Amino acid sequence: MSRSEDAAPPTGVEIVRIKSRFAMLALREGGKPAAVALKAADAFLQAERGRYLAWVTDTLRQLDHTLDELPGSIPEALQQAYGQAMQIRDLGGTFGAALVTEVADSLCELLYRLHAAGLYNAAAIATHQSVLRLVCMADQARATPDGIAELVAGLKQIVARFPRPQPPVKPAADQTVAAQTATAQTPH
């Protein structure tokens, strides 16, 4: 019999506690209770709301400039526009502007799909820009434009016309080894 067959099966679980600097910091007392921290965070966001409007306006202006100057399907410009749309989406999410978040997210998805497919569609981008401007202005006035649900649904239909990028296929392990071997044998 082998040694493992002679051993009795474990009858219980032993919990091992490892002392680490992180564990010690996590267990120490102090800090704010969650309710107090959430109240402070909400107060901070309310105080920054005025700056949010300026941030969104400035980023929207930058996005408009990037997209208006976009000479066709230039990957770097699409990526820059994507980053700017993402900033607007994130600001909307942080400050509770659901429509801004949703429309900017739709623009992000459109730009992502266009970039991945090597496509450019000025009309689809311009439509998103117009609706994003509309919801940003409405958010500043704390209003909801009539027909906004239909506009947002229309944006989703526009995005759906462009192919969703497929994740890259990983080569099988034997193909990877063969490719590495061929590369290693190639004279430099």
Q: Which CATH class is domain 36-165?
A: mainly alpha
**Per-residue pLDDT tens digits for 106-118:** 999 999 999 898 8
Which two three-digit tokens encode residue 120?
């450019």
What is the structure's pLDDT at 176? 55
pTM here? 0.68
Question: How would residue 181 be classed by pLDDT, with cut points 50, 70 and 90?
Answer: low
Q: What is the pLDDT of residue 133?
A: 92
Answer for the pair 92, 101: CB distance below 8 angstroms, yes or no. yes
Domain ranges of the chain: 36-165
Sign of the Cα pseudo-torsion (38, 42, 60, 62, in order): negative
What are the pLDDT digits (tens) for 29-74? 777 788 888 899 889 888 888 888 889 999 999 998 888 877 655 7
